[in-house]
Amino acid sequence: MASTSLTSNSYLINNLSHDFSFRRESIFNKESNIILTISCKKNIIVAWKDISHLEAIGNYTIFHFTDGKKLLVSRTMKIFLPKLDSEIFVRIHKSFTVNLNHISKFDVREEMFVQLRDGSKISISRRKKKDFIEKARRYFSNFRIN
């Protein structure tokens, strides 16, 4: 009886440790979350789907979230771009990277802008236009861009 109890406890412990490692992996999964290094002592975990767009101002980056909150980080946007999925986050200007999930409308012919769901209107630079169109075509496969 004691051996049965020990076996069931071992099974329980193994399942708990497996469950914990699964949760730990999902927290750091690039597909759902990113780790933002705010300073040399502070990191935060953010779901990429909650990021509306990034704005670069000199050596600072402002993260704009879907709930209207902003986070100012004293690092350049260039540092964060490799951590983001390049098929979803597109740099449309020297100072802006947008999450394609949060675009409500865009114009690449005349005004060259992207409008986000929160109402923000961001210009697309001439140099970034081609890359934006290619990534938008892939992402919005049901769209036809003329």
Please indicate, yes or no, if residue 108 is contained in any of the structural domains.
yes
Give the confidence band of 44 by pLDDT, cuts at 50, 70, 90: confident
Beta bridge partners of 106: 114
The total number of structural domains in the chain stands at 1
Give the confidence band of 38 by pLDDT, cuts at 50, 70, 90: low
What per-residue confidence (pLDDT) applies to 31?
57
The CATH number assigned to the domain holding 123 equals 2.40.50.1020
Rounded distance, CA 120 to CA 99, Å? 12
Show the domain range for 66. 47-139
Please indicate, yes or no, if residue 132 is contained in any of the structural domains.
yes
Please indicate, yes or no, if residue 128 is contained in any of the structural domains.
yes
Give mean pLDDT, residues 74-80.
Answer: 91
Q: What is the 3-state secondary structure (H, E, C) of 15-56?
A: HHHHHHHHHHHHHCCCCCEEEEEEECCEEEEEEHHHEEEEEE
What per-residue confidence (pLDDT) applies to 105?
92
What per-residue confidence (pLDDT) applies to 22?
38
Lowest mean pLDDT among 13-27, 101-115, 129-143: 13-27
Please indicate, yes or no, if residue 90 is contained in any of the structural domains.
yes
What per-residue confidence (pLDDT) applies to 40?
66
Please indicate, yes or no, if residue 15 is contained in any of the structural domains.
no
What per-residue confidence (pLDDT) applies to 7?
44
Please indicate, yes or no, if residue 76 is contained in any of the structural domains.
yes
- The model carries a pTM of 0.72
Please indicate, yes or no, if residue 11 is contained in any of the structural domains.
no
Assess contact for 135 and 90: CB atoms under 8 A.
yes
Please indicate, yes or no, if residue 27 is contained in any of the structural domains.
no
